[in-house]
Each structure stands twice: as structure tokens, then as C-alpha cells.
Structure 1
Amino acid sequence: MKQLLTIIAGVVVIVSMVVFIFTLRQVREEEASLTDDLERRTALLADSLKESVRPSYLSNATSTIQSVLDKFANRGRLLGLAVYDDDGDLFSVSADLPFNLSDYAAVPKQAMDADSAKGDFLEVQDNGKVYIFAAPLHQDEKIIGVLVLYQRADYIDAAKRQIWKTNLIRLLIQALLFSIAVILILRWIIFRPIITIVDTIRQARAGKVAEGAYTVKSHSFFRPIASEISKMSKSLLLARTAAREEARLRLEKIDSPWTEERLKEFIKSYLKDRKIFVVSNREPYIHKKIKNEIQYTVPASGMVTALEPIMEACGGLWMAHGSGDADKLTVDKNSKLAVPPEEPKYTLKRLWLTDQEVKGYYIGFSNEALWPLCHMAHTRPIFRKEDWIEYRKVNGKFTQTLLSEIKDTRRPVILVQDYHFALLPEMIKKSRPDAEVGLFWHVPWPHAESFSICPWRKEILGGMLGADVIGFHIQQYCNNFLETVGKEIESIADLEKFAIYHKGHTTYIKSFPISVAFTAGADGIPEPKSSLLEDMGIKTKYLGVGVDRLDYTKGILERMRGVEFFFDIYPAYKKQFTFLQIAPQTRKAVEKYRQFNDDVTREAERINKKFQDNDWQPIVLLKEHYTHEKIYPLYRSADVCLVTSLSDGMNLVAKEFIAARNDESGVLILSKFTGASRDLTGAIVINPYSAEETADAIYQSLTMPPAEQRRRMKKMRDSVKNYNVYRWAAEFIRAVTSLG
């Protein structure tokens, strides 16, 4: 519609300009014609009246002159007449002349001075434009006085206005008729076939039978395109059918790679079309108003990165907090919308929280209590009773909404995500014991002694144990959780099965190392490194990259100090190496995060000031959000990727970097305090607290032979490929449904 309006507006503007030019010309011609006619008729009238006025003027017969002037005054457009003597004084004037002549005596004087007839157009108050014409009276070639005629001239302006009005009305009618014609032509001849073609392609992409192209064939204008699309749709449909059949045959083969198609077949075969329900705090798509236009973004979140391809493959319902300022404008009456926006595959249901609930449940308890409690990054957790009350309240709110969604679903499969909803599994099980509930904890689980400082530890553990399966990234977190439960609540632990018996319910504790959709790294043609980095002002030979939310657990400050130490001990790399840190801001409402944002900015400025040389600076800090489409080319261009988290459940940036490197080059520097360091043994593993280790790892990366890079990268790519996010989802869902 926007393109249609643009076309119409463009044409109307051009036509309006043409009409304006022609109307202006017409007005000028009409004005010249009417003016010339008025001047000519006034001059003729003056010549005829002079013969009647002169004898009486010479004989000083004022009454006769007055009768002559009154006789011709107010006839047609003639307002009145006047006679001036040779001294320029008023001799006689017609009755009822509607203005003071003394204000307009310049024209008679000019006529006597020039000894010739003079005319001029003047604006007269309450009478509009008036044409004043003065003709000298002679006696023996001597000027004896002046005869002055006052003609209405406002009809000339009225005629001009009428031309403008008529042409404007004509233009509006023409524009309206033209717009209707253009809309009908474009809609039925162009846009409708295009929409049909787009729908055909969309159906083909979704694996549905695409019949639209056959209809478009009847339109000769698009017949060649429609014909090719029809053939392409058939080929794509056959390819999808073959892929599904292959996925079905590979379903039980352990060594077969997990793909989106295989996961779909697994869900269809294993769940028998049972619906999947995902519950998380963060939504996969956030709608915001940007310059009066609603746009959506995908948040920087490892959880979203992992779950989004699963939901696209399996469908179902994803329930999350609607946090965008335009979220309410994009949902239906049930607070739902189909996503992804371009190609909907599942349903997103948004829940609305009050400012008080967000402050207590999210900012307070989730991010100022549980987050630092689980991440051993030397930040003291803050426990407030009012935050805990809001946390319980919001967990109950999500529970009630979820119960209403699953009321007609038998044995629903519910996948609860992360520490925001530790109480939800038990709440769900109390009302729906038939529900099969899995809780995946995306962050580390601390040692029992560390967790024991939480005042509401027993309630949290009891809520979590309502789940049938609790998943962690690595076995160490499972061990920590079992130890914590054993010390805090009455339960029986089966160490052989890694199960906990509590209040008549069994919960299994399993490790499921989360991953990424490996195929994403092969998409698109790599953009040249020079052109990609040109806009960022990066022109160095070597590039290092870091991609993290601006979070104190990610080790960004420690990473920058490692880069600083690298230039201190390897000064030859100045102006040869640039480190690019992409760090979108997060949790701006939390004081610790606002302070950390300022600390990172100051540290980058300090290091840049220390080493900066002309247009080169060692650290480029970008705080805006980058989509995966923008980040993957940067991964491909980087010589080294730094992941230096101080504490991290898994860290998918490391796996995204590996998935992107289909050239099998580049080096990954990885913190030993990440879950990913257990899987990615080809990385250079460091202690992020040591600037010396970080600096040496950067030097080792930049000097590593290509063959060694390929060996390490191939090893890590095989690991990510063999245990991608589709396999993670299949194993987690299988555990939830088989053990529940």
C-alpha cells in the first residue's frame, strides 16, 4: 500500500506542477487582456467626455459640469469623475464618490506635468483595486485642467481567482479519477498477481502445496515469472518430501545428523502431535515504536538463540512477558500473535506485568538476587522480602495463564526456561499432575554453600522439584544441585539414576549441553573483510571480536585489560590489530548494570587514549544491538574471537563463532569458567582474570599456522555439528516425556 501511495503521490505532484505552470500562464494572459481592455475603454470614454466638460469649465459653469459628472457616475464599472484646475486643485467631483480624492491626487498631477494622459491601478480602502485615469484639458494647446475617471478594477482580481479556483477543482477531480484508475490498474493487474506469487513462494517455503502460480498464469504480464515459480514450487515440494522421508528413515539412526526436518519428524513420531508449551521471561520478538513506525527486534539472549529454531521446527505456543512499548499494538484480543513475522510457524502469547511486578520479580529478585547468586562473579546478591513476594506473585500469574491455555490439552508438554520461574513447575503440577514439565536452567548452579545464603532457598528448590526433569548445561551443575537439595530439604537422592524423590514425586537431574543451529554458518556469500569493516573505521590487518550483552559476568573489563597488556608486551602489533567489542546494553533498570556500562566506557576510552595513533585505536566499542545476519559476517572476518566470561552456563557466542567459520580458519579464545569449555576442546582455554594469559592467547592466535587453525576449528565444528540445538531439543523433550 505504501508503494501504491508513493506512485500516486509522485504522479499527482508532477501533474500539479504542470497545472500550476499552465494556470499561472493563463492568469497572466487573462490579466493582461482585461487590463488592456479597461485602459482602452477608459481612454475612449475620457475623450468623449472631455468635449462635454471643456466648454462648461471654460465658462466656469460649475452646475453644468456637476450635472455632466453625476450623469455618467456609477454607470457600469465607473465609480465617478472629477475635474481639477490647472493648479491641481479640485474643481468639481461627481456625487457619492466613495473615497477621499486628496489621497489619490498624484495621478492628475502627473498627467498635467507630462501633458499627456496617465493611468494607474491603486488599492482603495473598502473598494479594492481602482483604475484612475487622468486626461488633460487644453485651450489653445495650453493645459487648463484635468478630467479624472475612477473605474472599478477589482473584477480583474476576481477573474484571476476564478481561474485558480476552477483549475484547482479540475485538478482535484482529475487527481481523484486518476488515483482511482491507478489503484484499480495496479491492484488488479500488478499487485494482486504479485501478492499471489508471494503467497505461492511462502507456501512453497513452508512446505505446503502452492497453487497460486497457476492462477497467475492467466495474466500475460506475469506469465513467464509464474511459469518459473510453478516449476520451482514443484521442485521444492518434491525436495521437501524427499527430505522428510530421509529424516523419517534416519530418525532412529544415532549417527545421523540432527536437522530441522529430523526434529519435526521426531516430534511427530514421538509426541503424536501433542502441543509444546514454552514459558520464559524474555520474548523472542520485541515490538517497539521507532520514528512513529512499529518495528521488531530479536533480543540478545542465548536462550532465545537456542529456542527460536526449535519452535520454528516444532510449532506450539511460547508464553513470555511483553516488554516492548508497541507489543500491545501487535497482538490480538487474546494477547497472541503468529511469529516469525515474515513466515509464522508458532504462536507467541504475551503477558503484561505492572511496573511494581517488573521491579520486584524481574529487576529485584531475578537480576539482583538469583543472577549474582548463580554466577560466581564476586557480585553480592541483594535479597528483599518485597521482591520475593512479587516473584511468587508473577510465577502464580504465569501459572494461571498457562493453565487456561492447556485446559483442553491432554498431557501437555511444558518447557519452563530459566531462573525466572523456579516456582512454576510445582504450581503447575498441583493443578495438572498429568502435565509433563521440564525445567531448563540456563545459568550455572552454584555450590551448596553459596546457595545456602538465599533466605528462600527451600521454597525455590521445592518449586523446581515439581518438574519431571531439570536440565543443566554440564554435569558439574547437576552435581552441585544434588548436593544443594541434599543439604537443604528432606528428600531421597538416587545417585545412580540422578533422581530426587520429594513429596511423592520423582525429578530427574540431567545435563543437556545447549547449542546452536549449525547450518546458520553456511548462509550467504561472505562479504569482503575490507568493505565490511570500512564503516567501523577498522583498517588493520588483524581483527579480534567479542560479542556479549553488557553484563558484569561476561568479563568485558578483564578482556580489555588483556588487550591492553597484549599491546604492552607486543608493541609491534600496534596499528596491526584492532579489537571490536559489540556489547548491547541490557537490564538498564538495574543499578549494577548502569554502573558497569559506565565502567566499560571509561576503560575503553582509557586504553584508546593510551595507545591511539592517528586514526587507529586499539578498541572499537559498539553498544548497539546487532542481528545474527549482521554478526555472522563479523565472525567470518575475525582472526580471533574472545569469550572471557567470569561465570557462564554455556555461552553460545563461542558456538556461533564456530558455526560461522565454514572456512575452518580463525581461533577461539575461551574462558575456562564457561560450560562451552567442556565441549570445545580446540579452543585456547584461559583464566580470564589473568591479563597475561589473555595477552599470550591473543599472540598465539595471531601467529598460529593455518594448518593448526584448521585442525582445531574442524574439531570444534564437528562437536557443534554433532550436538546442535536440534539434538539438544530432541534429547530434552525425550527425557521430559519419557521420564515424566
Structure 2
Amino acid sequence: MVASEAQGGSILVQTSPYPHVVEDEPDGPSIQVRLVTTDPAAYADFYSVWSNPILWFVQHGLYGRALSPVITQAEHDAFDNGYAAVNRVYADAVVDEVRARGGKVLVLLQDYHFYLVAERVRELCPDVVLTHFIHIPWPSPDEWRVLPAGIRERLLQGLLGSDVVGFHTRRYARHFVLCAQELLGLEVDLDNLLVHVGDRIVRARYYPISVDTGALEATLGTEEVAGHVAMLRYGFLDGDRRLILRVDRTDPSKNVVRGFLAFGTLLDQHPELVGKVSFLALLQPSRTDVPEYADYIALIGAVVAEINARHTKDGQQPIDLRMVEDFALAVAAYSICDVIMVNALADGMNLVTKEVAVVNRRGGVLALSETAGAYEELGEYAVALHPFDVQQMADALYEALTMPLEERQRRLSAAAEQVRTHDVGRWLSDQLDDLSQLAGYL
């Protein structure tokens, strides 16, 4: 048996003022959480073989293809006995909940771990309304050809059990429709992002996720953040010094190494900035059990050490690298940075740019990768970064650092307005409004 429900079946979680389990009647907003436990071996294949790294690497374009991936019988077995098996257990749990509510309900599935769930739920509960939102990029059909045909077809057919498949950007939604056409041979309407599946029509839609602007503003106003701001100002902004910031996980898709190489090139080509510009990097170690991630962390450290050795002046290192996960510290840094650097190779959205737009009080410039999902919304207010071009990124950083204050403030104000009028509440309400029209009963 792959999985079984935890004893008791579910827990009640009150979501305010912070998530916590309650045993009696809640005195605030709450949600019933059904618990499903999985066999460790099945879960390892589900998560640590297929979800990460395989699907993550495919969808972020991280495989070099010359040497990776290498799909062997072990990966085929891991798909069947791990990814597919765990998806089936979660699908059956969803089916139980749907049937308990009469069969005609709305189910919202999330992300790349559960691509096979919708098809089974629809098979057993044909009246259900299913939407599956994917939070990471969806690449073009050719990227999916690195996977065995049978597996990629099962993934696509699983998703097409949904009524709506949601993405952050139109580009990702269009890629999904093209995959249905080119990899499955289905009839599609590319202009309207529709896929014909038998007598059903599956809709691809795009809803750019955002941030809770009120919660961000509240965090900015706390004493903890104020203390961090004071220390950061003292450490980085005395006199006419400037601060470049990045806040990221140490995921290869975040392109941290090339970002530092671009900063090193900036200092090489503009020696007058040495000692005048610092780069604060707040990085959170990610998936260190995956060899590619562990190797990437080591490479980050080596590149930073080399640049610091080359450009340290009067005892002051240009890069301050901190492996830390501290949201209050991040918000403090957001509020006072001159430039935020986001140079991801691929990113479903990237909320760091949106967070900075809301809380920055220094006319901060968004230096934003053209391949991040956020670029569709905020690109016109940002300095564009081409994530593979170190020289272009160095030039873009120089443009950002030398941009007139009035222009910096104009762009930041416009970006902040875009985020405030398209916050996370709107992200959800837009989806529910569309589903209401589709279902006719919500």
C-alpha cells in the first residue's frame, strides 16, 4: 500500500493570526485539512526523482541535453511506483471529499507535483469542476521531448482532465496548448487557448500571482524591520554608497552565479565603483539533498570568494553573501536597496520584484530577467536583464545605478501601482470569477 490516511483523517487549522491547529471551535478563519501519509520509498521516487529534479529541470530548461538527463529503467520505475502511485492516492482522497459533498463541487489543484490527479478525479466524479494552477514555467513542446513519449503523454493527459489549466503568463498558457497539439495531436484553438478533448473543451488561462500588499506594509512597519534597516544603513549606505540586493533560493534556475559574474564585470569595467557599491545577497539553501543543488551552492561560494579577493578595498568586501532565511531582514533590505537583481533563467513569476516595488522607499530600480514571469507585468518599469549575457547584465546594472532619481522614482511608483491593483486577492478572485461563469453555480 502506497499511502494511508493519518489516524483521525483530518485536522482543523485556524489561519489567523497565524496558522495553528485547533481542537475546539475556532475563533477566526479556519480550514479543514485532510492528512495523507505516504510510503517513504514511494514518496522519495515521487518527490526526489520526478518532481525534483526531473520535472523542475525540464520546466526551467536546466538540462544541457548533451549529457543529461539520462532516463533509465530506474526512472521509469520511479515514475510508475512513485509519481503515478502517489498521485493516485491523492486523487482518491480528493474523490472521497467530492463524493461526501454530493459530487458537483469545485476542486483547485496546485502545481507540478500532481499532474495526474485531475484525470482520475474526473473519471470517478464526472460532475466535478476541476482547475489546476501551475506555479512554475510551462516550456514549449520541444523541451518536453527530453522525456519518454509515454510519460510526457500521461502527464499531459492527466492535466487535461481539468476544466481549466492556469498559468502565470499568456506565454506559458500558449505553450501548454501547443503541447496538446504537437505532442498529443489534439485539436486546439491557439488564439483562444482552448484544447478539444473528446466532447470536452479544456481552457488554458493565465492569472499572474501576486503578493499581499497590506501584510507587506504591516511587516515594514514593525520594530524588527526598523532594527534591520538601521543596521543595513550603517553597513552599506554611509555617505554616497549604493546597494544592490538579491533575495533568492540557491536553485540553479535563479542564475545566481552569472549574477555575481555580471557584478564582478561591472567592477572590472568601472573601477570608480569599487568601494562605492555593495552587493548584499540573502540566499536560502534549497534542496541540498539533490547533487546538482549542492554543487551549485559550492560554485556560488567559490565565485563570491574570487570576486571579493579581486575587489576588496580598504578591508571592505564588495559582496556580502548570507545564507539565511529571514523575512524581516529581507523586507528591510527591500526598503533601502538601490537595485534589486532578479536574473533568473526561468521563473514562474518571481514575487521578490513585486515585494520590492511595494516597500522600497529609495527609488529602487528593478533589474529584471526577461525570462521571469513577472517581466510580462513589470518589464516596462524595469531595466531588462538577458540572463545568459554577463556583459549585458553588467551594463544593465550600471544603467540602473546611474539612472536619474526622478526616473527611478517614476518607474518604481508605476510598478507599485501595478502590484497594488493586482494583488494576491485579485489573483484568486479572477480565477473564481472565471470558474463561476464556467460552472454556473459557484
Contact conserved, 1:372 with 1:381, CA < 8 A, in 2? no
What corresponds to 2:167 in structure 1? 472
Q: How far does residue 538 in structure 1 lie from its aligned partner after superposition?
A: 4.3
Q: How far does residue 531 in structure 1 lie from its aligned partner after superposition?
A: 2.2
Q: How far does residue 578 in structure 1 lie from its aligned partner after superposition?
A: 1.2
**2:185, 2:269 → 1: CA distance?**
56
Out of 346, 355, 369, the position equivalent to 1:671 is 369
What corresponds to 1:533 in structure 2? 232
**Per the alignment, in what secondary structure is the counterpart of residue 118 of structure 2?**
helix
Which segments of 5 or more consecutive residues in structure 2 lack a partner in the other structure? 20-28
Per the alignment, do residues 354 and 575 of structure 1 end up closer, same or farther by CA in structure 2, a change over 3 Å counting? farther
Per the alignment, do residues 646 and 343 of structure 1 end up closer, same or farther by CA in structure 2, a change over 3 Å counting? closer
What corresponds to 1:702 in structure 2? 401
**1:545, 1:332 → 2: CA distance?**
46
Per the alignment, do residues 727 and 413 of structure 1 end up closer, same or farther by CA in structure 2, a change over 3 Å counting? same
What corresponds to 1:61 in structure 2? none
What corresponds to 2:106 in structure 1? 413
**Per the alignment, in what secondary structure is the counterpart of residue 317 of structure 2?**
coil
Per the alignment, do residues 368 and 522 of structure 1 end up closer, same or farther by CA in structure 2, a change over 3 Å counting? closer
1:657 maps to amino acid: V
1:498 aligns with 2:193: yes
What corresponds to 1:625 in structure 2? 325
Q: How far does residue 656 in structure 1 lie from its aligned partner after superposition?
A: 1.2
What corresponds to 2:422 in structure 1? 723
1:336 aligns with 2:8: no
Cα deviations across residues 566-600 of structure 1 (Å, max 9, x unaligned)? 11111122222111111111112211111111111
**1:439, 1:453 → 2: CA distance?**
23
Q: Please identify the structure whose Cα radius of gyration is greater.
A: 1
- Equivalent residue runs for 1:191-210 within 5 Å: none
Q: How far does residue 387 in structure 1 lie from its aligned partner after superposition?
A: 1.9
What corresponds to 2:58 in structure 1? 373
Contact conserved, 1:664 with 1:713, CA < 8 A, in 2? no
Q: How far does residue 614 in structure 1 lie from its aligned partner after superposition?
A: 4.4
Q: How far does residue 436 in structure 1 lie from its aligned partner after superposition?
A: 1.3
Out of 334, 352, 355, the position equivalent to 1:653 is 352
Per the alignment, do residues 713 and 343 of structure 1 end up closer, same or farther by CA in structure 2, a change over 3 Å counting? same
2:385 maps to amino acid: I
1:385 maps to amino acid: H
What corresponds to 1:387 in structure 2? 78
What corresponds to 1:400 in structure 2? 92
**1:732, 1:504 → 2: CA distance?**
23
Higher relative contact order (CA 8 A, sep 6+): 2
Moved more, 465-474 or 629-638: 629-638
**2:291, 2:321 → 1: CA distance?**
21
Q: How many positions carry a matched residue from both structures?
A: 409
What corresponds to 1:167 in structure 2? none
What corresponds to 2:381 in structure 1? 682
**1:386, 1:698 → 2: CA distance?**
47
2:88 maps to amino acid: G
What corresponds to 1:306 in structure 2? none
Contact conserved, 1:490 with 1:502, CA < 8 A, in 2? no
Q: How far does residue 462 in structure 1 lie from its aligned partner after superposition?
A: 0.5
Q: How far does residue 466 in structure 1 lie from its aligned partner after superposition?
A: 0.4
Q: How far does residue 495 in structure 1 lie from its aligned partner after superposition?
A: 3.5
Q: How far does residue 341 in structure 1 lie from its aligned partner after superposition?
A: 6.7
**Per the alignment, in what secondary structure is the counterpart of residue 100 of structure 2?**
coil
What corresponds to 1:73 in structure 2? none
Q: How far does residue 397 in structure 1 lie from its aligned partner after superposition?
A: 1.3
**1:565, 1:708 → 2: CA distance?**
25
Question: Percent identical across equivalent pairs?
Answer: 27
Cα deviations across residues 511-551 of structure 1 (Å, max 9, x unaligned)? 1122112233422437277623279x546521111011110
Per the alignment, do residues 413 and 630 of structure 1 end up closer, same or farther by CA in structure 2, a change over 3 Å counting? farther
Q: How far does residue 459 in structure 1 lie from its aligned partner after superposition?
A: 0.6
Cα deviations across residues 24-56 of structure 1 (Å, max 9, x unaligned)? xxxxxxxxxxxxxxxxxxxxxxxxxxxxxxxxx
**1:596, 1:335 → 2: CA distance?**
39
**2:193, 2:54 → 1: CA distance?**
28
- Equivalent residue runs for 1:169-568 within 5 Å: 333-340=8-15, 342-343=17-18, 345-347=29-31, 348-379=33-64, 380-383=68-71, 384-389=75-80, 390-410=82-102, 411-455=104-148, 456-523=151-218, 524-525=220-221, 527=226, 531-533=230-232, 538=236, 541-568=241-268
Cα deviations across residues 383-426 of structure 1 (Å, max 9, x unaligned)? 41122111000101111222233332242221111111111111
Q: How far does residue 734 in structure 1 lie from its aligned partner after superposition?
A: 2.1
Q: How far does residue 361 in structure 1 lie from its aligned partner after superposition?
A: 0.7
**2:127, 2:70 → 1: CA distance?**
37
**2:265, 2:192 → 1: CA distance?**
48
Q: How far does residue 488 in structure 1 lie from its aligned partner after superposition?
A: 1.9
**Per the alignment, in what secondary structure is the counterpart of residue 439 of structure 1?**
strand
Please, what TM-score do these two structures have when normalized by structure 2?
Answer: 0.86
Q: How far does residue 737 in structure 1 lie from its aligned partner after superposition?
A: 3.6
1:451 maps to amino acid: W
Per the alignment, do residues 382 and 440 of structure 1 end up closer, same or farther by CA in structure 2, a change over 3 Å counting? farther
Contact conserved, 2:244 with 2:278, CA < 8 A, in 1? yes
Cα deviations across residues 333-353 of structure 1 (Å, max 9, x unaligned)? 335241437445333444323
What corresponds to 2:24 in structure 1? none
RMSD: 2.3
What corresponds to 1:692 in structure 2? 391
Out of 431, 438, 441, the position equivalent to 1:739 is 438
**2:35, 2:279 → 1: CA distance?**
38
**Per the alignment, in what secondary structure is the counterpart of residue 407 of structure 1?**
helix
